[in-house]
Amino acid sequence: MYLPRHFEETDSKRLQALMQDHPFATLVTTHEDLPFVTHLPLLWQDGRLFGHMARANLQAAAIQAQQGVLAIFHGPHAYVSSGWYEEQGLPSTWNYAVVHVRGKLSPVTDLEQVAEMIQALIAEHDGDNAAVWDATQFTKRSGAIIGFEIEIEQIEAKFKLSQNRPAGDRERVLRRLRQSSSLSDQEVAKMMEELREP
């Protein structure tokens, strides 16, 4: 990823928060020397990532082979108009936050552990309805899915949030994003505010 130093984010709490708030990731491996992608939720637990997918997915072979993997977490993003800057004639741009996790895939063969991972994922996103899920449902479907873990080797993050602009421009961008009805714009504004806090 192209990563100018002023956009590099290394604060582990911010990176973990983005991965937990935006868990629907892009998982990239290779198949026959070409990139292969699956979009799926990943669960962050104790510094590791867990997930599951259909065994029929070609990427399941990458899990069995313990291939290297890139997991991309896409945070909020927002259009930034050049008209918001004091200096005219500059290009418009996009503010955004992404986290790239590189590591190695490993299958999780313990069905009880896979069931616990799925239960944790459901509980995270389904709240009160999580009780609807039960172990018998998992047992019926366990042969059709494969659980996996990503052993993390590197985390790289880009929080492009107008850090390269003068303070006045940053405040104007922040004000415009706060006024937007877009949830993503509001999230970007919140991240910009958090960055400027000491």
Q: Give the model confidence (pLDDT) of 29-66 as tens digits.
A: 998 889 999 999 999 988 899 999 999 999 999 999 99
pLDDT above 70 coverage of the chain, percent: 92
Confidence tier at 167 by pLDDT (50, 70, 90):
very high
How much is the mean pLDDT over the chain? 91
* Of 164, 13, 159, 196, the residue nearest 77 (C-alpha): 159
pLDDT above 90 coverage of the chain, percent: 74
Confidence tier at 118 by pLDDT (50, 70, 90):
confident
Question: How far apart (Å, rounded) are the C-alpha atoms in residues 138 and 148?
Answer: 16
pLDDT at 157 over 60: yes
Orientation of helix 183-196 relative to helix 167-179, angle to 10°: 150
- The class that CATH gives domain 5-190 is mainly beta
Question: How far apart (Å, rounded) are the C-alpha atoms in residues 181 and 42?
Answer: 28
For residue 32, how many other CB atoms are within 10 A of its CB? 6
Confidence tier at 116 by pLDDT (50, 70, 90):
confident
* Of 162, 194, 191, the residue nearest 76 (C-alpha): 191
The residue among 134 and 113 whose pLDDT is bigger is: 113
pLDDT at res. 132: 58
Mean pLDDT over 150-164 rounds to: 96
Question: How far apart (Å, rounded) are the C-alpha atoms in residues 108 and 172?
Answer: 49
pLDDT at res. 8: 96
Mean pLDDT over 159-186 rounds to: 96
Instruction: Please name the amino acid found at residue 189.
Output: A
Confidence tier at 101 by pLDDT (50, 70, 90):
very high
Confidence tier at 196 by pLDDT (50, 70, 90):
confident
The residue among 79 and 198 whose pLDDT is bigger is: 79
pLDDT at res. 32: 87
For residue 192, how many other CB atoms are within 10 A of its CB? 21
pLDDT at 16 over 60: yes
Confidence tier at 136 by pLDDT (50, 70, 90):
low
Question: How far apart (Å, rounded) are the C-alpha atoms in residues 64 and 56?
Answer: 13
Domain locations along the chain: 5-190
What are the structure tokens assigned to 43, written together?
């669960």
CB 33 within 8 A of CB 42: no
User: Could you give the C-alpha distances from 179 to 4, 173, 183, 184, 197, in angstroms and in order?
Assistant: 29, 10, 11, 12, 20
